[in-house]
């Protein structure tokens, strides 16, 4: 279970990094002052997709365990995933802060 928590946290962090990299590549100077209907549509769609992905990474496993009647394992699994995610975010912050 700890291994799966680790991979879920890394998956969530990787998804966030991929979204940020994708958005950074979309910087197009030909977009007129952001006054287009496509930007809000894209951002809302991205928000919904992100909520679904984070739900999958953080909530699906614990919910399955609760349904199976293993509540304590579900709580441990959830907080282990959160812990690994926080660690990966802190490590990324340190690397970017020192200039890698």
pLDDT computed for residue 28 by the predictor: 63
* pTM, two decimal places: 0.70
Q: Which residues, at least 6 apart from 45, have a Cβ–Cβ distance to it below 8 Å?
A: none
* Tens-place pLDDT, residues 66-94: 999 999 999 999 999 999 999 999 998 99
Structure tokens of 30?
Answer: 């030909």
- Coil, helix or strand for 68? coil
Burial 78-91 (b: 16+ CB within 10 A, else e): bebbeebbeebeee
pLDDT computed for residue 29 by the predictor: 60
* Tens-place pLDDT, residues 1-45: 778 888 888 888 888 888 888 877 776 666 566 556 677 777 878
Shortest CA distance to 54 belongs to which of 78, 26, 20, 21? 78
Q: What average pLDDT does the segment 48-59 reach?
A: 91
């Amino acid at each position: 279970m700890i291994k799966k928590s680790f991979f879920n946290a890394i998956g969530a962090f990787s998804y966030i990094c991929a979204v940020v990299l994708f958005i950074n590549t979309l910087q197009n100077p030909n977009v007129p002052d952001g006054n287009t209907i496509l930007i809000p549509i894209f951002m809302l769609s991205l928000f919904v997709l992100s909520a679904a992905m984070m739900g999958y990474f953080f909530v699906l496993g614990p919910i399955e365990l609760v349904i199976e009647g293993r509540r304590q394992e579900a709580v441990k699994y959830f907080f282990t995933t959160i812990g690994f995610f926080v660690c990966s975010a802190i490590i990324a912050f340190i690397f970017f802060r020192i200039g890698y």
